[in-house]
C-alpha cells in the first residue's frame, strides 16, 4: 500500500470544516489502497479558533498521527486560547486603535499568516517521515496558507516526490484580506508566495470550480493541473438520526456570524411572518454580542435560541431536526467563490435550504441543480418571506440523492488523483 503524507495544521481536537475535510479523507483512503500518514501541530502549541473533542473518534486506529511543537505567535495577542480570533483577526471588527493595530501587525509582519510559527518544526519532521516511511506523495492543505510554504521547501529538497497543494480558500483574494492593511511590499511578498506554490506544486486541488478559475487566471498552465474536489458530508455522521418535525416551525443557522454576514433582510422578513405564525430561530456556533443583540431586538415576540459552538455530531442533529436551514454567504470581495463547508451537510439533512448571497455563486448553482433550496439577495425581504411562508404552508421532506458529495465518493476521486 502506497503512503501519502498529509501535512495539515488543523486536526482533532481542532473543530471546523477545514478539519473534517482531511480527517474524512484519511478515514476512507485505506479503502482505496492508500495509507495516510498525518503530520500536524501538537494541540499544546496550536492556535485553534474552535475545539471539538468528538471528532477524534473518526481517526482510524491504523492511521499514524505525528505531532510537533510550534511557535504560537497568537499568544502575543492573548494568553487565553479561547479568544484566538478566527480568520486570523479578520473576524475582529474592532475599529479602535488596538483592533486596527493588531490587524496591521498580522498583515505585515506575519506573512502569509501567524501560524507559520509551525513551519520549521513541521519541515524537519516531514523530512524524517518522507525518508523513514518511504513517502511517494505528500499533500499540503490550507488555510493556513503558511502550510503551503512547507510544501515549497519539501519540493525543493525532494524534487522526485509528488506534491499536491490543496487550497480550500482564496489566498491573496480572500474577502477579508484588506482588513489586514497590507502595504505594497507585504502584498507583493504574499503574492510571490502564492505564485510559487501554484507554479511548483505538481497538482492543485480546489474546492470549487470558480475557485479553480481564480487560481488558473494567475499563471499560465495552472488550469490543466488543477482538480476540483469539493467538501462533502459523511454518511456515518447521519446514521441513526431521524428527522422529527418540530412542534414549532424552526429555522436553524449553523456556523459563524459576523458583520460580513448580512441578516437585515432576513430579520425584516421574519418581522412580517411573526404576525401570523409561531417561529423559532436557532443559531448554533459563534456570534459576537452585537450580532446577538441585533437579532434579539429585531425578533421580539419570537423565540430565539443561541447555542454556542457545538460538537459536530450535535450540530448535525440540529440540522436534521429543523423545518428550514439558513445559509449565509459573507458579503465581501468576489463572494461568488465562497462555498461554506456546511452546505453539503445541509444537503444531506434533506431539509429545505434558504441561502442568502450572490444568485450566480457556487452555492446558488449547487442548490439550483439539486432543487432543494433557493439563493436570494440579502435585501430581498419580500422574496425571503414568501419562500419561508411557502415552506411553512407546505412542509418539505426531500429525498434527493446527494451521493456525489459523500466523503467516501470524494475520497475515491482523491485516490485517483494520488
- Count H helices, E strands: the chain? 14, 13
Give the integer Cα–Cα distance in Å for 195 and 219. 7
| Sign of the C-alpha dihedral computed for residues 96, 102, 106 and 107 taken in this order | positive
Pair 251, 316 in one domain: yes
Residue 14 buriedness (CB in 10 A; 0-12 / 13-18 / 19+): buried
Q: How many domains does the chain have?
A: 2
Pair 376, 276 in one domain: yes
Determine the structural domain holding residue 11 and report its residue range: 2-233+407-417
Query: Contact at 8 Å (CB) between 382 and 207?
Result: no
Pair 211, 308 in one domain: no
Pair 36, 89 in one domain: yes
Q: What is the pLDDT of residue 155?
A: 98
Give the integer Cα–Cα distance in Å for 97 and 109. 17
pLDDT truncated to tens, each residue of the chain (418 aa)?
Answer: 899 999 999 999 998 878 999 999 999 999 999 999 999 999 999 989 889 988 999 999 899 999 999 998 876 655 555 455 555 444 455 567 777 888 899 889 999 999 999 999 999 999 999 999 999 999 999 999 999 999 999 999 999 999 999 999 999 999 889 989 999 999 999 999 999 999 999 999 999 999 999 999 999 999 999 999 999 999 999 988 888 889 999 999 999 888 889 999 999 999 888 776 789 999 999 888 999 999 998 888 889 999 988 888 899 999 999 999 999 998 877 889 888 889 999 999 999 999 999 999 999 999 999 999 999 999 999 999 999 999 999 887 788 889 999 999 999 999 999 9
Label residue 88 left, alpha or beta by phi (over 0 means left) and psi (-120 to 50 means alpha): left
The CATH number of the domain holding residue 311 is 3.40.50.2000
Residue 356: closest CA among 334, 379, 333, 339: 379
Q: At what angle do helices 146-157 and 119-132 cross, to 10 degrees?
A: 40
Pair 206, 320 in one domain: no
Is residue 400 assigned to a domain?
no
Q: What is the CB neighbour count within 10 angstroms for residue 270? A: 24
Strand-pair category, 203-206 with 226-228: parallel
- 3-class secondary structure, 196: helix
Pair 323, 358 in one domain: yes
Pair 40, 183 in one domain: yes
Q: What is the pLDDT of residue 89?
A: 44
Pair 157, 250 in one domain: no
DSSP H or E stretch at residue 27? helix 17-28
- 3-class secondary structure, 96: coil
- pLDDT tens for each residue of 231-253: 999 999 998 888 888 999 999 99
Q: What is the pLDDT of residue 394?
A: 87
Pair 253, 198 in one domain: no
Pair 185, 299 in one domain: no
Quickly tell me which residue has 479568544 as its cell.
83
Is residue 154 assigned to a domain?
yes
Pair 101, 174 in one domain: yes
Pair 192, 70 in one domain: yes
**Which contacts (CB < 8 Å, 24+ apart) does range 189-196 have?**
189/111, 190/111, 190/112, 193/111, 193/112, 193/145, 193/148, 193/149, 193/152, 194/112, 194/145, 194/218, 195/219, 196/152
Cα–Cα–Cα angle for 211, 216, 217, nearest 5°? 100
Inter-CA distances, 193 with 70, 148, 197, 205, Å: 21, 9, 6, 17
Is residue 401 assigned to a domain?
no
Amino acid at each position: 500500500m502506497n503512503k501519502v503524507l498529509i501535512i495539515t495544521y488543523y486536526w482533532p481536537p481542532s473543530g471546523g470544516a477545514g478539519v473534517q475535510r482531511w480527517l474524512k479523507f484519511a478515514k476512507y483512503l485505506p479503502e482505496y489502497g492508500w495509507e495516510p500518514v498525518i503530520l500536524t501541530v501538537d494541540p499544546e502549541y496550536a492556535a485553534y479558533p474552535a475545539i471539538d473533542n468528538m471528532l477524534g473518534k473518526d481517526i482510524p486506529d491504523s492511521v499514524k498521527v505525528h505531532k510537533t511543537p510550534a511557535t504560537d505567535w497568537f499568544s502575543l495577542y492573548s494568553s487565553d486560547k479561547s479568544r484566538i480570533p478566527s480568520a486570523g483577526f479578520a473576524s475582529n471588527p474592532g475599529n479602535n486603535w488596538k483592533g486596527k493595530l493588531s490587524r496591521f501587525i498580522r498583515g505585515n509582519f506575519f506573512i502569509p499568516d501567524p501560524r507559520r510559527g509551525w513551519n520549521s518544526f513541521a519541515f524537519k519532521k516531514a523530512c524524517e517521515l518522507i525518508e523513514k516511511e518511504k513517502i511517494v506523495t505528500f499533500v499540503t492543505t490550507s488555510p493556513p496558507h503558511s502550510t503551503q510554504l512547507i510544501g515549497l521547501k519539501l519540493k525543493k529538497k525532494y524534487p522526485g516526490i509528488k506534491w499536491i497543494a490543496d487550497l480550500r480558500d482564496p489566498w491573496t483574494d480572500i474577502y477579508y484580506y484588506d482588513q489586514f492593511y497590507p502595504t505594497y511590499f507585504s502584498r507583493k511578498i504574499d503574492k510571490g508566495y502564492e505564485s510559487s506554490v501554484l507554479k511548483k506544486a505538481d497538482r492543485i486541488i480546489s474546492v470549487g470550480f470558480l475557485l479553480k478559475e481564480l487560481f488558473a487566471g494567475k499563471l499560465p498552465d495552472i488550469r490543466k493541473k488543477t482538480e476540483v474536489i469539493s467538501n462533502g458530508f459523511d454518511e456515518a455522521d447521519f446514521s441513526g438520526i431521524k428527522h422529527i418535525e418540530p412542534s414549532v416551525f424552526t429555522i436553524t443557522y449553523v456556523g459563524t456570524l459576523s458583520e460580513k454576514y448580512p441578516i437585515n433582510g432576513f430579520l425584516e422578513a421574519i418581522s412580517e411572518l411573526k404576525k401570523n405564525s409561531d417561529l423559532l430561530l436557532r443559531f448554533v456556533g459563534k456570534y459576537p454580542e452585537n450580532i446577538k443583540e441585533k437579532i434579539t431586538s429585531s425578533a421580539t415576540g419570537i423565540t430565539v435560541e443561541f447555542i454556542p459552538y457545538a460538537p459536530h455530531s450535535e450540530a448535525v442533529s440540529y440540522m436534521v431536526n429543523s423545518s428550514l436551514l439558513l445559509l449565509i454567504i459573507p458579503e465581501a470581495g468576489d463572494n461568488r467563490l465562497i462555498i461554506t463547508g456546511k452546505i453539503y451537510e445541509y444537503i444531506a439533512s434533506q431539509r429545505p435550504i434558504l441561502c442568502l448571497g450572490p444568485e450566480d455563486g457556487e452555492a446558488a448553482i449547487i442548490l439550483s441543480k439539486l432543487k432543494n433550496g433557493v439563493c436570494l439577495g440579502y435585501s430581498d425581504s419580500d422574496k425571503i418571506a414568501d419562500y419561508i411562508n411557502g415552506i411553512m404552508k407546505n412542509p418539505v421532506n426531500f429525498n434527493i440523492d446527494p451521493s456525489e458529495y459523500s466523503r467516501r465518493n470524494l475520497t475515491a476521486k482523491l485516490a485517483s488523483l494520488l
